[in-house]
Amino acid sequence: MSETATTEFDGSVVHPDLEYERKRCSFRIPDFTYALYGREGFAVLTKLRLALARNPAFDLRYLWSADGTTQQYVRGCWLAEEVVKVIRQLELIDRDDAIGPLQILAGEDMFVMLHLTMFLPTLKNMCDEEQARYWVPLAEDFRIIGTYCQTELAHGSNVSGLETTADFDDKTDEWVLNTPSLQSTKWWPGGLAKSCTHCVCMARLRIHDKDYGVHPFILQVRDLNTHESLPGVKLFHIGKKLGYNSMDNGGVQLHNVRIPRRNLLMKYCHVDRQGTYKPLGSKKLMYGTMTFTRKQIIMAAGPQLAKSVVIAIRYSAVRRQFPMTMKKHETKDSSRDAEVQILDYSTQQITLFPLLAAAVAYTVTGIWMDAFYNSFIEDAKKDDFSKLEEIHAVTSCLKAMMSLSVADGMEKCRKACGGHGFLLASGIPIQFVNFVPVATYEGDRVVLSVQTARVLLKIVQRKMMSRDPKHTLAGTTLEYIHNFDPFGDHQPPAIENTPWFDPDWLMEIHRRRSCGLVYKAAQQYAAETSSGKDMMEALDLVKVEFTRLGTAHAQVLVLHFFLEAVKRVELVEVREVWVDLWLCLALSWCDEHFGEFVITRALGPDHHDGLMTAFKTILRKIRPNAVAIADAFWIPDQLLNSALGRYDGRVYEALMESTKMEPLNRLDVPPGYLEHIQYILHPERKKRSSPAHSKL
């Protein structure tokens, strides 16, 4: 494995600090990479990296000085064109295992990605067979480009509150679509502004004034030949966002737009020529797109976090600040002044190493998630929906916890790079602003916590009513909740000989924390409802607790899947490093949520000293391997897009070089001087002052 860095200067000279770090690590870097992605995953990555390498469309440095949405959107279109070429040439359209990595490797999200991850899956899930035969090939061949059009200006998570209407006109056998108010303006769909030709539009299905609720309709919005928007379809761009501006999120107002009756997607219901409405089959898979999208988010979380962590760790190995005498073992280069690599500071380690561990943990959790989702789909094809509840709970809590953790983690990485982290050329700001909406879309923490908690509380409820559902839970991610004995004597373990480095024991106290929170919330909720409160009101009273138990449960799952993965690592020298990372993550969460551990008696107040000692021991143990672990994510420089995170570590050269891209550096005397600054310095040059303030 070698890095083909996007360099303007000689990339072959690696900074001696990084060279040293790579030599002194305790394992072979490629072995870690194989263990992380698996042989198959690694083969896919290799193929994709090759297809993208040296294609200037994937050189993302223009983002460092990106102008407004227009420039960025046009670049996004170029990126989209090249991505589609790669998909066509490598025949990836049906390869879910490749589309996800391709989305990450492309660097920027644009309309084509939503076409692939929302529009196409929705068609596959919502069309009846005849419809699928017509629409799916068109979408798979990009003869149409679509998006998923649901949220409205005033309506988000509450889908049943949507206002857009589709009225059946039995004279013409058509639906008439309208957004009847400002509030019902469709708002947010990615690609809808300028790129899409079609969308799946969610609207209230009405027949002869009877409202059947929200249903999916396929709606063409632009002419396939001219790309002009169609009559009655008022499309617009919703404006610049904090990030994610390669994506043209759009809005639409519909005025009596007519589409054929068969444009209602008819897998789960049927409306005939006479306007007779008939529900069809099991609705259990109706919200399949949402589960699919959350699964995709969970799969991407680890690699996304890794990008920022790799930058921060490499930079911290090159950046030096303040002397630290007596640290001879770290300072091997005696010719330099005695300033220390900032990665040697405990504060830097306690910030970055748990994030490094999380990046590995989330990556392997994502791989598990994908496999679990696929097995669920296989079962569903055989009409077996036994995993429905579990997959719902798992995707909800993992998406909520991981998306927030990654967004926060990126910002921590950025701050850990000091002042330079604030430059777009550092790479992390762009990663952060592009990723952070993930924490909101497809369900934010609150909405998803309620979903998770409902499933968990049901288990408690059933157990308390002695209806033992154990046989259905055995081997599932929910089993430990059932197995917990709320009436047991839950005293924190003795302080002496606390086994801080025993993964099974740490797993146990994490489970105890989670169960403690779940059973306590269940008790509170039961008390509120039995006191006569309405279900929604009682729910609001424990919602705060739900968000917390959702996080605790998600962390149990991540630690569990990570530990399973650790056990599967074959090479002992790699496995040892994974054990360190696992311990680092588990201990960091004990520290971060220490309050919850003591509340639930998983730990006692006096455990904190021992915890910190153990935590710091692991941090020091990881230190010599940190750069090598970062390397093992095998992220190309092109994707990091960072002057600070380059494989060759030549950060100062790269920063200096990056200033050449700044348009303001084209002129010595700037625009702004003649118009404004000269009048500050020389007010007499302006014959008369602006009348606006002369009266004050």
Counting contacts by CB under 8 A, is residue 419 touching a second copy? yes
Applying CB under 8 A, among 324, 377, 388, 571 the residue interacting with a second copy is 324
β 250-254/257-260 pair status: unpaired
Is 100 annotated in a binding site? The answer is no
Phi, psi of 218 (to 5 degrees): -90, 130
Smallest gap, in angstroms, from Cβ of residue 679 to a second copy?
A: 6
CA distance 462 to 484: 13
Are the C-beta atoms of 400 and 388 separated by less than 8 Å?
no
Smallest gap, in angstroms, from Cβ of residue 413 to a second copy?
A: 13
Is 442 a catalytic site residue? yes
Applying CB under 8 A, among 12, 68, 335, 691 the residue interacting with a second copy is 68
CA distance 405 to 624: 25
Applying CB under 8 A, among 164, 178, 185, 296 the residue interacting with a second copy is 185
Smallest gap, in angstroms, from Cβ of residue 611 to a second copy?
A: 10
- H/E stretch holding 129: helix 129-140
Terminal Cα distance for the chain, rounded: 69
CA distance 147 to 615: 46
Counting contacts by CB under 8 A, is residue 194 touching a second copy? yes
Counting contacts by CB under 8 A, is residue 330 touching a second copy? no
User: Interaction with a second copy in 480-539: which residues (CB under 8 A)?
Assistant: 533-534, 536-537
Exposure string of 624-652, with b = 16+ CB inside 10 Å and e = fewer, is ebbbbbbbbbbbbbbbbbbbbbbbbbbbe
Cβ nearer to a second copy, comparing 339 with 378:
339
Applying CB under 8 A, among 188, 368, 480, 500 the residue interacting with a second copy is 188
Handedness of CA 644, 647, 651, 653 (dihedral sign): negative
- What lies within 8 Å, CB to CB, of 611 at 6+ separation is 500, 587, 590, 591, 594, 603
User: Interaction with a second copy in 422-441: which residues (CB under 8 A)?
Assistant: 422-425, 429, 432-433, 436-437, 439-441
Applying CB under 8 A, among 663, 687, 688, 691 the residue interacting with a second copy is 663
Window contacting a second copy (CB under 8 A); options: 240-248, 260-268, 292-300, 549-557: 240-248
β 320-323/339-341 pair status: antiparallel
Applying CB under 8 A, among 23, 278, 570, 696 the residue interacting with a second copy is 696
- Identified catalytic residue from 152, 411, 442, 545: 442
The first and second tokens of residue 211, run together, are 């409202």
Smallest gap, in angstroms, from Cβ of residue 88 to a second copy?
A: 8
Cβ nearer to a second copy, comparing 419 with 475:
419
Q: How far is CA 286 from the centre of its chain?
A: 23
Counting contacts by CB under 8 A, is residue 89 touching a second copy? yes
Window contacting a second copy (CB under 8 A); options: 22-30, 270-278, 316-324, 565-573: 316-324
Is 151 annotated in a binding site? The answer is yes
User: Interaction with a second copy in 440-479: which residues (CB under 8 A)?
Assistant: 440-441, 444, 446
Window contacting a second copy (CB under 8 A); options: 5-13, 167-175, 343-351, 626-634: 343-351
Can you spell out the DSSP letters for 465-520?
Answer: TT---HHHHTTSTTHHHHH--TTS--PPPPSTT--TT-HHHHHHHHHHHHHHHHHH
Rounded to 10 degrees, what is the CA torsion of 367, 373, 378, 383?
A: 160
Applying CB under 8 A, among 14, 601, 610, 617 the residue interacting with a second copy is 601
Window contacting a second copy (CB under 8 A); options: 92-100, 370-378, 551-559, 686-694: 686-694
Counting contacts by CB under 8 A, is residue 92 touching a second copy? no
Counting contacts by CB under 8 A, is residue 543 touching a second copy? yes
Counting contacts by CB under 8 A, is residue 675 touching a second copy? yes
Q: Give start and end residues of each alpha helix (H) in 502-661.
A: 503-530, 535-568, 572-592, 594-599, 607-622, 626-632, 637-640, 651-658
- H/E stretch holding 269: strand 269-271
Cβ nearer to a second copy, comparing 391 with 585:
585
Q: Which residues are catalytic?
A: 442
Q: Which residues are annotated as a binding site for FAD?
A: 151, 190
